[in-house]
Chains A and B, each alone.
Chain A
Amino acid sequence: MWADSIMAIGVNHKTAPVAVREQLTFAGDCQTPLRQLQAIDGCDECYFLSTCNRVEVLFVSRDPETTLKAVRKFLFSGTSLSEEEIDRYSYLHQGQDAINHLFLVAASLDSMIVGEPQILGQLKQAYREASDGQTTGPILNRLLHKAFSVAKRVRTETNIGGGAASISYAAVQLARKIFGELTGKRVMLIGAGEMAELAAEHLVAQGIDHVLVANRTLERAATLARTFNGTAISLPEVVNRIPEVDIVISSTGATDLILRRDEIRPLMRQRHNRPLFLIDIAVPRDLDPMLNTLDNVYLYDIDDLTNVVEVNKSERAKEAASAERIVAEEVLKFRQWLENMEVAPTIAAIRRQGEAIKEQELAKTLASLGNLSEKEKKAVQGLAASIVNKMLHHPMLYLKTDCKPDEKKQKLDMARKLFNLDAAPDDGSSGMQ
């Protein structure tokens, strides 16, 4: 039984605080840790994932318990953790649970923000490194490809990634619903707070053309403007520059309103009624709430944006339930495959295939030959049966000969591929670019 030979061990944001996770950071690429893992006795296949929220090793071993000890030692060797602490902060999954765990990670159901797609890219990168270093084998290759296809299925069949899950993303998403493409649009930052900077960064990434920065101290404005290749202006200029911008993000510490409805109203005509998206993330608010009553002006304050994010998050939580159902389904399918990765079921499957081909071809031939005597019919049937049997004789013998477990796996994998026993591997190469 292969299933129990698969193990996953690691730490993530759920099991360990950042103070622990940062001790496990492996600098540079994964090749060094992969080679070290591969050298561990009994570790037939392995793969290593390290992101800011998780560090984990997935391995296949003929002697899981012993290998686990060595992997554990390798993983935590750079830390000051005691054995009990390691137990407390890490997770360990074996067999079906390990498969389930990998699928959940790939589908972003185990992420800090459920549904954020970055993890899949990181997983693919980690797999690429492992397969470049030739540390994966038939089981992990299939398991990881399957994980990518599960992630893809979850993404297309559920709405897990729909709706922004952070305030700055919510702002970008709204901007896209108002303006369509953001290329060529201009944004003005009033106040140079951190959140405004983050939102501006997202907007620039979407193709925003120009950034204006207004701040109480012009110096800070100039610094921030430089990072975006933008222009710094002074606070009193803000109103006059409104006609040339499309999006305003305000986050000053001012106690008074910065923009009032009556100031903007006449400017809308000057703007030829081009829409204006106002984002007020300051508390107390910078922008007159009445601005939202103007035609083609859309005002969102911090509470509005928080609401959007909350609604999206609860939407994602709902979707997560159906995503988990998909994962459970796929875990079952994978187990099925693992169970078939044995000599007896493989031989049975090859025989079944031979029988099926024989029956099909016989039916065709006998129908076209018409009136044959009983004896002639027998002869044709005998011919077909002996061709099939002789063709399969040597492959069968080869499969049955004893060998090391690692070799056996390769052999079975090759045989199943040669005879196309796991038909329609739609999950095969499609997951990897």
Chain B
Amino acid sequence: MSDPLFQITLFAYILTTAAYLVYFARQNNKMRTVARAMLLGTGLIHTACIVARYIEAGHTPLTSNHEAVSFFAWSMTWGFLSFRWRYDVKNFGAFVTPITTALMLVAALSSRTIHELAPALQSNWLPVHASIALMANGFLSLAFCGGLMYLLQEREIKYKHFGLFYTRLPSLEALDNLNHHSVAIGFSLLTLGIVTGSVWAKQAWGTYWQWDPKETWSLITWLIYAALLHQRLTVGWRRRRAAIMAIVGFLAALFTLWGVSFLLEGAHSYVG
């Protein structure tokens, strides 16, 4: 059941991305309405897909790379939709949806086998810790998109070459605000993810912190964002620097997700 649903979800993401890119190129308002409706639909199918897998596996489907990345894309989509509800950032979707689609492709290429839950993972902390950590990634990736859009827009304004982005992207102020909000939410979730993880570690392994590579890298990521927020509040690190930091921080977050799992060994490696 979950497998065909996943295929449909993936297909829906590809179509939605295409719709957003067409809207970006043509700036036709009808296309925007279509793209938004499609994204909402995609988000709902994706939710159904995750629920189906939960029922099939009998445990929270956040234990393999396939499941984690799919949930990551899901958080990003719903994070984006929640922003859309609060404020309108023009053409944000054209940057967000290609990334969610890329994530879904990564998920599609990973093994989709459902594994028995290892004894160490049989805990109520699994859904809490893993989902919070992945939702943090979702919001941090939105900040990444905001940062990228900021740098593209600023480049055109600063160097006076008005090309593809000047009219299509919103004001620098709006992009900076978007960045700040996404980082603030993402950082709070990241903090919560680390705290729940360490409480769980105390229960499972008897120690709050054991410098496992995943723990170390999530701490590094946390420090980058903490520095960004701290500097922003004290000396006004905003706009350009904040955009660059949001991009660097996101790369660290991605390394925490994948680099650690595949390059380094540790307690957090996925099953299978």
Contacts and interface: CB of A to CB of B under 8 A. Distances in A.
A178 B241 contact: no
A195 interface: no
Given A177-B157, A269-B235, A307-B160, A295 B171 contact: no
A178 B172 contact: yes
B218 to A, nearest CB: 29
Contacts of A295: 239-241
A269 B234 CA distance: 11
Contact of A180 (B158, B171, B238, B239): B171
B237 interface: yes
Interface stretch (A114-122, A271-279, A376-384, A420-428): A271-279
Given A177-B171, A178-B171, A178-B173, A274 B236 contact: yes
The SS class assigned to the A binding surface is mixed
B173 A300 contact: no
B166 A177 contact: yes
A174 B239 contact: no
A413 interface: no
A296 B171 CA distance: 13
Interface in B232-263: 235-241
Interface in B162-183: 162, 166-167, 170-174
Q: Which of A178, A179, A292 has the most CB of B within 10 A?
A: A178
A269 B240 CA distance: 14
A311 B162 contact: yes
A271 B238 CA distance: 11
A180 B170 contact: yes
Contacts of B173: 178-181
Contact of B174 (A180, A272, A307): A180
Interface string B138-163: 00000000000000010001101010
Given A162-B167, A273-B236, A273-B238, A178 B162 contact: no
A162 B236 CA distance: 34
A296 B157 contact: no
A271 B171 contact: no
A272 B160 contact: no
A304 interface: yes
B202 to A, nearest CB: 41
Given A177-B166, A179-B171, A295-B241, A271 B160 contact: no
B245 to A, nearest CB: 13
Interface in B37-83: none
A174 B157 contact: yes
Given A177-B171, A178-B171, A179-B173, A273 B160 contact: no
Interface residues of A, number: 24
B106 to A, nearest CB: 35
Contacts of A298: 157-158
Nearest to A293: B158
Interface in A29-82: none
Interface in A234-276: 269, 271-275
Nearest to A300: B160
Contacts of B239: 273, 275, 295-296
Contacts of A292: 158
Nearest to A268: B236
A128 interface: no
A272 B157 contact: no
A207 B240 CA distance: 26
B171 A273 contact: no
Interface string A300-331: 10001001100100000000000000000000
* From B160, B162, B241, residue with most partner A Cβ within 10 Å: B160
Contacts of A163: 167
Nearest to A162: B167
Contacts of A177: 153, 157, 166, 171-172
Contacts of A296: 239-240
Given A177-B157, A178-B173, A296-B240, A272 B235 contact: yes
A428 to B, nearest CB: 22
A103 B113 CA distance: 65
A176 interface: yes
Interface string B3-37: 00000000000000000000000000000000000
Contact of B160 (A181, A274, A304): A304
Interface string B211-240: 000000000000000000000000111111
A289 to B, nearest CB: 12
B217 to A, nearest CB: 29
A180 B171 CA distance: 5
B167 A271 contact: no
Interface in A325-349: none
Interface of B: 153, 157-158, 160, 162, 166-167, 170-174, 235-241
Interface of A: 162-163, 174, 176-181, 269, 271-275, 292, 295-296, 298, 300, 304, 307-308, 311
Given A272-B235, A275-B239, 19 more contacts: A162-B167, A177-B157, A177-B171, A179-B171, A179-B172, A179-B173, A180-B174, A269-B236, A271-B236, A272-B236, A273-B237, A273-B239, A275-B172, A295-B240, A296-B239, A296-B240, A300-B160, A304-B160, A308-B160
24 contacts: A163-B167, A176-B171, A177-B171, A178-B157, A179-B172, A180-B170, A180-B171, A180-B173, A180-B174, A269-B235, A269-B236, A271-B236, A272-B235, A273-B236, A273-B238, A273-B239, A273-B241, A275-B172, A275-B239, A295-B240, A298-B157, A298-B158, A304-B160, A307-B160
- Ranked 3 nearest A-B pairs via Cβ: A272-B236, A180-B173, A180-B171
